[in-house]
Amino acid sequence: MFYHVKELQYESKPERPDPVYAKKLQEVLGGQYGEITVMMQYLFQGFNCRGEQKYRDMLMDIGTEEIAHVEMLATMIAQLLDNAPVQEQEEAAKDPIIEAVLGGMNPQHAIVNGLGAQPNDSAGYPFNARYTIASGNLLADFRANLNAESQGRLQVVRLYEMTTDRGVRDMLSWLIARDTMHQNQWMAAIEELEQNQKAVVPATFNQQFEKQEVSYSFMNFSQGEESSTGRWASGASMDGQGQFDYVSQPQARGQSPQLQPAPPYIHGTPPKKMNPNPPQ
Residue 93 lies in a domain: yes
Residue 85 lies in a domain: yes
Residue 148 lies in a domain: yes
Residue 212 lies in a domain: no
Q: What is the pLDDT of residue 45?
A: 98
Mean pLDDT, range 40-50, rounded to an integer: 97
pTM of the complete model: 0.86
Domain that holds residue 32: 19-196
**How many whole angstroms separate alpha carbon 202 and alpha carbon 137?**
8
**How many whole angstroms separate alpha carbon 160 and alpha carbon 173?**
8
Residue 224 lies in a domain: no
- At 276, is the pLDDT very low, low, confident or very high (cuts 50, 70, 90)? low
- What proportion of the chain, given as a percentage, has pLDDT over 90? 76
Q: What is the pLDDT of residue 102?
A: 52
pLDDT at residue 9 tops 60: yes
Q: What is the pLDDT of residue 100?
A: 45
pLDDT at residue 87 tops 80: no
Mean pLDDT, range 221-235, rounded to an integer: 96
pLDDT in tens, 252-273: 999 999 988 889 999 998 767 6
Q: What is the pLDDT of residue 18?
A: 92
Residue 76 lies in a domain: yes
CATH number at residue 148: 1.20.1260.10
Q: What is the pLDDT of residue 160?
A: 98
**Which has more confidence, 95 or 272?**
272
Mean pLDDT, range 76-98, rounded to an integer: 67
Mean pLDDT, range 236-246, rounded to an integer: 95
Q: What is the pLDDT of residue 191?
A: 96
- At 108, is the pLDDT very low, low, confident or very high (cuts 50, 70, 90)? confident
Residue 188 lies in a domain: yes
Residue 50 lies in a domain: yes
Mean pLDDT, range 11-31, rounded to an integer: 95
Q: What is the pLDDT of residue 101?
A: 46
Number of domains the chain contains: 1
- Looking at beta carbons, which pairs linking 2-10 to residues 24 or more positions away fall under 8 Å? 2/64, 2/67, 8/68, 8/71, 8/72, 8/75, 9/65, 9/68, 9/69, 9/71, 9/72, 9/174, 10/72, 10/171, 10/174
Q: What is the pLDDT of residue 179?
A: 97
